Structure 1
Amino acid sequence: MSLFKPKYITFDCYGTLIYFEMAPAASALYEDRVPAARMRAFTDAFAAYRLDEVLGAWKPYEQVVDNAIRRTCKRFGVEYREGDGKAIYDQVPGWGPHPDVPTGLAKVAKEFPLVGLTNASNVQIPHNIARMGAPFHAVYTAEQAQAYKPQMKAFEYLLDQLNCAPEDILHVSSSFRYDLMTAHDMGIRNKVWVNRGHEPANPFYGYTEIKDIGGLAAVVGL
């Protein structure tokens, strides 16, 4: 892998590059309704329902979040108040990168075009990307692809827009469920797993593991 020189380095954005604060946002909003002892289970369920919501036909991300939190509240017998989903969604554009991201990205951006593939709306992600500290060649959204990851259609859109083959890219993500499993199925051989503790290792899917974006330069021989 250290000798591989991709045409593009492609990235998952939320969670991998951007500190994804869905759990803290939900915890703060529901602290008066969910006991502290149950909050971790509540936010874990919220994450699971968000994944379930993106598996069907495309819909706006605000609706994904709202549907997921409504379903979580129903499951836990918690009061949902109108506007709760929007209150969480509206925080997303203000989220910034993990501390390791700006320096790590800037180093590889000197040699390789960086591309984002994100489960975001068109108006949402530019605010986050502006905080990355490195130039991006392109950022493709679920709204543009009309499909969310982990659906193959999202990756097909990425490859079509870049006019390249699966073997031409290096895909970087902290998530197997959203990215690396589908990348494997798409024939994307060159993959990097950023181990941010979101999910356990799964060597079957064939990747290079790094602990943060600072380790990416060594993967591409810089």
Structure 2
Amino acid sequence: MTFRPKFVTFDCHGTLINYDMAGAARRIYGEMLDDAKMTQFIRNFAAYRLDEVLGAWKPYADVVANSLERTCKANGVTFREEDALRIYEEVPTWGPHPDVPAGLAKVAKEIPLVILSNAMNSQIMSNVEKLGAPFCKVITAEETGTYKPQMNGFEYMLDVLGCGPEDITHCSSSFRYDLMTAYDLGIKSKVWVNRGHEPANPYYEYTEIKDIGGLAGVFGL
């Protein structure tokens, strides 16, 4: 029997929105670094962003600035605060992956959609408005007081929705930010959108789809 959740909950940036931190970094540093060094810079930038969200909550502008400063130091590049601000201010301009609007709209006709995002209140709705489907709740890290992959945001979301981990399906392109935590919290129904960010990891018991166009089929829609 196909599981029909009370809500489908989503990571936003990366899963639904084309979260172009790599492109933003290239636009600033691409002329300074050759291809191999730029690739390393982007890898470091992603790793430091994850590290920055593991502690106490701070504004996402600080997450970007701190992780960029650490990346510049590791790669022998001069850090400038205006570069970090430029990257941060790009975030609300980014739109969805091409497969997202139609795929979401099909699911939204049958199941309520929710976002749990490592985002700021002032930025997130600009991204959500580009997704082309209705969301009944949009919950940010600023609201919950912690960033994913910490558990508090998921617990807060379940409280707000008035349901348990057995009642939802959580959908993300990231194990490290979302699906590992969802697994640890007992969320049995998980969907991994394989956007090539991370390798498959079957230990975490998920359904794999290549894009959001495949999501409706998970629920037999």
Q: TM-score, normalised by structure 2?
A: 0.98
- Other structure's SS at 1:123 match: helix
- Equivalent position of 2:214 in the other structure: 215
- Equivalent position of 1:185 in the other structure: 184
Cα shift at 1:114? 0.2
Q: Which one-letter code corresponds to 1:33 in the other structure?
A: M
Say whether the 8 Å CA contact 1:33–1:79 is kept in structure 2.
Answer: no
Say whether the 8 Å CA contact 2:65–2:81 is kept in structure 1.
Answer: no
Mapping for residues 129-208 of structure 1, pairs under 5 Å = 129-208=128-207
1:32 paired to 2:31: yes
Q: Which one-letter code corresponds to 2:105 in the other structure?
A: A
Unmatched segments (≥5 aa) in structure 2: none
Say whether the 8 Å CA contact 1:117–1:139 is kept in structure 2.
Answer: yes
Q: Which one-letter code corresponds to 2:64 in the other structure?
A: V
| Distance in 2 between residues matched to 1:86 and 1:221, nearest whole Å | 44
| Distance in 1 between residues matched to 2:116 and 2:32, nearest whole Å | 35
| Distance in 2 between residues matched to 1:190 and 1:82, nearest whole Å | 41
Cα shift at 1:31? 1.8
Percentage of pairs with the same residue: 65
| Distance in 1 between residues matched to 2:81 and 2:129, nearest whole Å | 31
| Distance in 1 between residues matched to 2:159 and 2:2, nearest whole Å | 25
| Distance in 2 between residues matched to 1:114 and 1:217, nearest whole Å | 12
- Equivalent position of 2:119 in the other structure: 120
| Distance in 2 between residues matched to 1:172 and 1:22, nearest whole Å | 21
Say whether the 8 Å CA contact 2:2–2:219 is kept in structure 1.
Answer: yes
Say whether the 8 Å CA contact 2:69–2:79 is kept in structure 1.
Answer: yes
- Equivalent position of 2:44 in the other structure: 45
- Larger CA deviation: 131-140 vs 27-36: 27-36
Say whether the 8 Å CA contact 1:25–1:88 is kept in structure 2.
Answer: yes
| Distance in 1 between residues matched to 2:205 and 2:173, nearest whole Å | 14
- Regions of 4+ moved over 2 Å: 32-37
- Other structure's SS at 1:115 match: strand
Q: Give the alignment's Cα RMSD to 1 decimal.
A: 0.8
Aligned residues: 221
Q: Which one-letter code corresponds to 1:37 in the other structure?
A: A
- Larger CA deviation: 75-84 vs 58-67: 75-84
Cα shift at 1:154? 1.0
CA offset digits 1:153-191 (Å, max 9, x no partner): 111111111111000000000000000000000000000
CA offset digits 1:91-135 (Å, max 9, x no partner): 000000000000000000000100000000001110000000100
Say whether the 8 Å CA contact 1:34–1:78 is kept in structure 2.
Answer: no
- Other structure's SS at 2:67 match: helix
CA offset digits 1:186-214 (Å, max 9, x no partner): 00000000000000000000000000000
- Other structure's SS at 2:81 match: coil
Q: Which one-letter code corresponds to 1:91 in the other structure?
A: E
Cα shift at 1:221? 1.0
Cα shift at 1:83? 1.3
Cα shift at 1:82? 2.7
| Distance in 1 between residues matched to 2:147 and 2:36, nearest whole Å | 32
Unmatched segments (≥5 aa) in structure 1: none
Say whether the 8 Å CA contact 2:15–2:172 is kept in structure 1.
Answer: yes
Cα shift at 1:16? 0.3
